[in-house]
């Protein structure tokens, strides 16, 4: 990732209107800002959320609250708690997110 053409900026996430994204079960609420070609999001999953698709986009994900279960298409499962991250490249391992308890994430992609 190369960040160019982005002046120093601050974000008050509470002022960003969330967009709702239905999962296979549950919902995700995204607060999104764009910094050049980089998308930065604060995402909240409701309890019982499960993504409705396999994702191949690269991300850096930090779990701020709750637990995030990430399943890789090859069957591996990774459980992340608050303070944990994962990194994956574009077109790397396909992955799918879920959360039994709900989770709040900070995502850069």
Tens digit of pLDDT for each residue in 75-85? Answer: 999 999 999 99
Q: With b meaning 16 or more CB within 10 Å and e meaning fewer, what string describes 76-101? A: eeeebeeeeeeebeeeeeebbbbbbe
At 5 the pLDDT is: 83
- Tell me, which fold does domain 19-108 have in CATH? Jelly Rolls (2.60.120)
At 6 the pLDDT is: 86
- Please, what is the average pLDDT of the chain? 95
What is the domain partition of the chain in residue ranges? 19-108
Which tokens sit at 26?
């549950």
The pTM of this model reads: 0.92
């Amino acid at each position: 990732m190369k960040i160019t053409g982005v002046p120093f900026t601050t974000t008050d996430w509470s002022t960003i209107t969330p967009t709702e994204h239905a999962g296979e079960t549950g919902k995700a609420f995204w607060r999104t800002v764009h910094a050049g070609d980089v998308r930065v999001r604060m995402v909240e999953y409701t309890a019982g959320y499960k993504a409705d698709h396999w994702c191949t986009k690269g991300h850096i994900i930090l779990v701020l609250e709750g637990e995030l279960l990430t399943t890789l298409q090859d069957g591996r499962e990774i459980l992340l708690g608050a303070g944990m991250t994962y990194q994956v490249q574009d077109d790397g391992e396909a992955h799918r997110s879920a959360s039994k308890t709900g989770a709040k994430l900070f995502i850069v992609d």
